[in-house]
Structure 1
Amino acid sequence: MPPLSSSSPFSSDAHVAALRAAGCVFAEDEAELIRTAARTPDEAVAMVERRASGLPLEHVVGWAEFHGLRITVEPGVFVPRRRTEFLVDEALAAAPHACVVVDLCCGSGAVGAALAASLGQVELHAADIDPVAVRCAGRNVAGYGGHAYRGDLFEALPGRLRGRIDILAANVPYVPTDEVPLLPAEAREHEPLTALDGGGDGLDVLRRVAAEAPQWLSPGGCLLVETSERQAPVAVEAFTRAGLAARVAEDEERYAHVLVGIRAETGVR
């Protein structure tokens, strides 16, 4: 693609043409988002060129729309998927009066922020193993009084949360290792592998979360994990082995599958 000239009109068709030539299916919409985000014509040109080079649009403009919120997304951070809004909806339905919320494998913290925005006053915590994600999530949850921690799953969380979590949202990686190369280039090249690769069958991290979750959930608390239709039966087994009452929720329109596990109201594992 030839470089755009900074003398191009701020909202010119040149931006659309450059994006279309780069294979952007929604070139007109993307050009408009870039035009809105850019502060100057030169910045718009630079943003179009970054997008045309393959950078995810959300990394270019610096935010992603998620559950009615504008979530800050920094380069190198997993971009929240619109289908994951279904996980938020299922969490709100399962625990509409939740007081303590944890966004595990939080990435940008989009899920935690969306839950807090809908629930109101909650104690919000987010955690991820990637330091770039933790920094980004910290910015997104701060407005809700939330805190972000770096560490491997539950090791990152304050011990005082044990047995108190009403909603544990864990958007774990669930792509099987040998299928990661089949992902779109935007994901493979610009998002952390730890946010994508779920191991041999894609369920390694899910199993770890399910096994330890009952120790952290409050009585009646719920664990919610996104998975695929193909993986759902094995994922349910992992939840059941951990002592959680499990069900699979499906949204056909968004092709989203969420596994919901409830800790028993009485009894401690």
Structure 2
Amino acid sequence: MTPAAPATPAEPAEPAAPAALVELLRAAGCVFAEEEAELLRAAAEDEGHLARLAARRVAGEPLEHVVGWAQFCGLRMEVGEGAFVPRRRSEFLAQQAVASARPGAVVVDLCCGVGALGAAVAAQVPGAELHAADIDPLALAYARRNVAAYGGQVWEGDLYSALPAELRGRVDVLVVNAPYVPTSEIGLLPAEARDHEPPASLDGGADGLDIHRRVAAGAPPWLAPGGRLLIETSARQSPVTASALAAAGLSVRAVTSEEYYATVVIATA
């Protein structure tokens, strides 16, 4: 599936010089206007294209959607309109997954979105067998391209129902960045996320952990002996996420990073 081309704003004002583009972005509230201006100019085919890209950014689209990529764990991941943008804090989840993986590990990126986590793990684990799954066909169009360099296979469907049966009992590392924002807090998110990313990639239900509970309950038959499930959550929600994994019969611990402002719960079969 090829993402639809964004609508072109009518006759946007052309930022004729780098300084003008920086001022345009700064006036729109872009904190890192200089850096964004450089990225927009690098992505533009010509001045007219640059004007259209700048108009999209000024209108509030995420920069990653506008330029078509996001940096994640030092890699360039393709993203675009309507896709969840990988967050820097999730690099901590990727780091923990890499630390849990041996060479040749079977790695599954569940709720993969554009496949950034799976690609980042496979890039650092020699011989990894990578599988990525999500329910969103638009996101999977990007994921296929992002995991291709690592021989990754992409599957469409709802959680474990997407995975091929031959993976049962073979998964060494199951990495999950499922939605965990409570429904009542969606309106508090930055407009870039709230207005431009799919609600299903953000909304975790009443307490934010509906999908975490489903991930936990369904995990044991898929994990290899000693296999690990690593899931991103918040410090506030981590006890509930951990409780759900423990209830599934898994050994659980939580790790946090002040640098990334991130919390990961790790469950071992």
What residue in structure 1 maps to residue 212 of structure 2? 206
Moved over 3 A (4+): none
CA change 1:98–1:204 in 2 (3 A) is farther
Matches within 5 A, 1:32-111: 32-97=38-103, 99-111=105-117
What residue in structure 2 maps to residue 5 of structure 1? 14
Query: 1:82 is paired with a residue of what secondary structure?
Result: coil
Contact 1:76/1:190 (<8 A) preserved: yes
The one-letter code matched in structure 1 to 2:13 is L
In 1, distance between residues paired with 2:236 and 2:116? 25
- TM-score normalised per structure 1: 0.94
Alpha-carbon RMSD: 1.2
Asked if residue 131 in structure 1 is aligned to residue 140 in structure 2, the reply is no
Matches within 5 A, 1:233-252: 233-252=239-258
The size of the alignment, in residue pairs, is 259
In 1, distance between residues paired with 2:195 and 2:24? 21
Asked if residue 167 in structure 1 is aligned to residue 136 in structure 2, the reply is no
Q: Deviations over 1:21-71 (max 9, x none)?
A: 111111111001111121212211111111010000000000000001000
Give the percent of matched residue pairs that are identical in Structure 1 and Structure 2.
58
Q: Deviations over 1:190-249 (max 9, x none)?
A: 111111000110010001001111110111111011000110111111111011111111
What residue in structure 1 maps to residue 235 of structure 2? 229
In 2, distance between residues paired with 1:116 and 1:173? 22
In 2, distance between residues paired with 1:162 and 1:192? 30
What residue in structure 2 maps to residue 267 of structure 1? none
Query: 1:210 is paired with a residue of what secondary structure?
Result: helix
In 1, distance between residues paired with 2:28 and 2:215? 39
Contact 1:222/1:261 (<8 A) preserved: yes
Query: 2:89 is paired with a residue of what secondary structure?
Result: helix
Q: 2:184 aligns with which of 145, 169, 178?
A: 178
Q: Deviations over 1:121-144 (max 9, x none)?
A: 221111111110111111111111
Matches within 5 A, 1:138-157: 138-157=144-163
Q: 2:20 aligns with which of 14, 24, 34?
A: 14
Contact 1:98/1:166 (<8 A) preserved: no
What residue in structure 2 maps to residue 261 of structure 1? 267
Unaligned runs of 5+ in 2: 1-10
The one-letter code matched in structure 1 to 2:264 is V
The one-letter code matched in structure 2 to 1:77 is A
Q: 2:118 aligns with which of 112, 116, 125?
A: 112
